[in-house]
Amino acid sequence: MQLDQLDKLANETFAGRVVRKDLVRQVKVGANVPVYVLEFLLGKYCASDDPFAIETGLMVVNQTLKDNFIRPDESELAKARVKQKGQYRLIDKVDVRLLASEDKFWAHLQNFNDKFVHIPENLVYRYDRLLQGGAWCQLDLVYNALDEEVQKRPFYIRGLKPIQVAAFDPDQFIEGRRRFSRTAWLDLVMRTIGLEPREYDLRGKLLSVCRLLPMAERNFNLIELGPWGTGKSFVYRESNPNAILISGGKVTVPQLFVNLSTGRVGLLGTWDTVAFDEVAGLKMSDGTVVNMLKDYMESGSFARGKEEVPAEASVVLVGNTSRPHSDLVRTAHLFADLPPTMIDVAFLDRLHYYLPGWETPKLESRLFTDHFGFVSDYFAEALRQLRKQSFVRAIDNEFALGSHLSARDEKAVRKTVSGLLKILHPHGEWTHAELREYLEFALEGRRRVKEQLKKLAPHDYAKTAFSYVERDTGHEYWVDVAEQPDDLGTQFDFESGTASGASTDGGWSPTALSTEELISQGESKHVEFKQTGRINLHTKQRDPVIEQMVVKSIAGFMNAEGGTLLIGVTDSGEVFGIEKDLKTLGTKQNADGFGLWLNSLLDNLLGPVAVAGVKFQFENYPAGTVCRIDVVPGTAPTFAKGKKGKANFYVRLNNATRLLDTSEAIHYVRARWR
């Protein structure tokens, strides 16, 4: 192998922490152990760029595997060796169970094929994961056949060490990151998971890295469905000792949460990531499993017995699609291959990111790297340490999220951005362009979830026009999903001059319905809710971006069929009130002051002619005051003044307010006011 610049930089910066990934594949042949187990050995003996050291280390690794790794068909030979030598060191997967009838813990050695191996209780309590699916370990086994035992069980574990990195220095890791450009670091992460970055474009790299999000971000819920053979489950099964992969079968409440008979906490309380493979064939023992999982995915805790148990495990669903995704989009939805019990909109709404597995290529030899990447258990520990940090507020200074994002959407987007920043920028430094890139990626993944929910429950999930606003320019950008892009032509018929499904009877009649009726019917083409008119509930300060969104909504109604904007109502139709807005109005903190501010805002940004078509009133409710703004269709185009004097043209299409580009605006204006 010819070392490239990235190999040299990686070895120079992380000496002893990187390993050649082709060696892993080479040793893997004939050794049915996870990659992180092999890299545990390769990291000890082959973490070098010196060919002679690598060759010598490979000999040691192969000899260690030959002497200590037990293949299932060699179990009886291994037992004989332990008896002959009295003590033997081996590498095997160990899981432990409590046999209540004997009041004793017994260890099961998978390849050694013995379910009754003595293990000291202190080791069981020290390593909880031995009780939850087991862990690969390096262990010392001794033989001691006691005469007083009625049933001979002579094998004893004297010492045991789970195969994980012995020590990790987060400061060293972060300082090392500073020596790499974003591109170089992204390529190193790709090589760490075994893929050659030169075979992927930037989008392909980011999609691959997204599989690591559940390991870097606490309580992150991800789904990936796509064709077989794309490596969807590899990172959860092979490359991270902190993740567990459940393949098919039946899932029970005790397995995931708490076993009430023993008090043992289940998988979600023990592992960093719990991934469900072949999810289409997954069976739940009863409806309680999905309901408890749904609650856990939302809150990060579960109630079982007398106590609420907090946990940080991320939940991952991976599986194959039965048909091409284009067929599913056209005839059904992208969740169609999930078990029927999981096709529950409340459950699916907890998913933070839908990774499009159909965009990742099927694995073939050219896609695997022959270069250096991090030793898997070292990088896994880095991700584990990064879980303690949070970058969920990273976007606030530069971007604001659009009006169609609910609180749950916003949480999902923020967690995705945070995870990508942890993986690619653990040192906390990034550019505006990079942050925008991650934000758009996050919005796309969450919108993919929302689009499917819209098919399952159109009324509850109608708002899918995801957007963000760039604070320094005030410009709003919409984010599409590749398989379902927004198309203005499908929403507006330029020949007839009407929006699809629109009435042609003169537009919106604002006096036809009371405010209570508008709230009860929810948002639509003619009705929009905004929780606040000027205050950012996160910063507790007045936010010009939120004010601009009010202006955009009113301009959009004017350029379409008219409508009603209700300020002080949440997306879900609950009265919130404008009282927090009133506190930002200086000396006149009442409805009159709010009206003066609103009139001045519209006059400055839309012009006095447009303001004449707006009427607003205030209605009091127990929860607060609502500002109702009725907007009649404009007799001429209305342009909203943005930053630097730029004029933007917004129009209400279906249930979203969209910014049209110059060409679209010209066609629209000609058709609308011809």
Kindly report, residue by residue over 465-511, the tens digit of the pLDDT. Answer: 899 999 888 888 889 888 875 555 445 554 454 544 344 444 566 66
Residue 221: name the closest of 345, 384, 353, 312 by CA. 353
pLDDT at residue 31 in the model: 67
- Helix (H) or strand (E) segment spanning residue 249: none
615: β partners:
630
* DSSP β-ladder status, 314-320 and 273-277: parallel
* DSSP β-ladder status, 650-653 and 221-226: unpaired
Distance CA 345, CA 457 (A): 7
pLDDT at residue 647 in the model: 87
CB neighbour list of residue 660: distance below 8 Å, 6 or more residues apart: 488, 649, 650, 651, 668
Q: Which CATH superfamily is domain 493-672 in?
A: Schlafen, AAA domain (3.30.950.30)
pLDDT at residue 371 in the model: 93
Please check whether residue 221 is in contact with residue 143, taking contact to mean a CB–CB distance below 8 angstroms. Answer: no
Domain residue ranges of the chain, discontinuous segments joined by +: 1-69, 72-162, 493-672
Residue 108 has φ and ψ, to the nearest 5°, of -110, 120
Token pair belonging to 104: 């004793």
Residue 259: name the closest of 212, 304, 195, 225 by CA. 304
If you classify domain 72-162 with CATH, what class do you get? mainly beta
CB neighbour list of residue 536: distance below 8 Å, 6 or more residues apart: 400, 542, 543, 545, 546
pLDDT in tens, 624-674: 999 999 999 988 999 998 776 678 899 988 778 888 888 888 888 888 887
What separation in angstroms does the CA of 194 have from each of 10, 63, 565, 606?
Answer: 15, 24, 52, 55
Distance CA 610, CA 606 (A): 6
Q: Is it true that 72-162 and 493-672 share their CATH fold? A: no
Please check whether residue 525 is in contact with residue 576, taking contact to mean a CB–CB distance below 8 angstroms. Answer: no
CB neighbour list of residue 485: distance below 8 Å, 6 or more residues apart: none
Say whether 437 sits in a helix, a strand or coil: helix
Measured in residues, the chain has a length of 674
Q: What is the mean pLDDT of the chain?
A: 88
Residue 615 has φ and ψ, to the nearest 5°, of -130, 135
Mean pLDDT, 10 residues at a time, the chain of 674 residues: 90 90 80 76 77 85 83 87 90 90 92 93 87 84 75 89 76 96 97 94 95 96 94 86 85 86 83 92 83 93 80 94 88 91 94 95 91 90 93 94 92 98 97 96 96 90 89 86 64 50 50 86 88 89 90 92 93 91 91 93 89 90 94 91 81 83 86 81
Please check whether residue 377 is in contact with residue 43, taking contact to mean a CB–CB distance below 8 angstroms. Answer: yes
Q: Which three-class secondary structure string do you get for 76-141?
A: HHHHHHHHHHCEEEEEEEEEEEEECCCCEEEEEECCCCEEEEECCHHHHHHCHHHHCCCEEEEEEE
- The whole-model pTM stands at 0.78
pLDDT at residue 351 in the model: 97
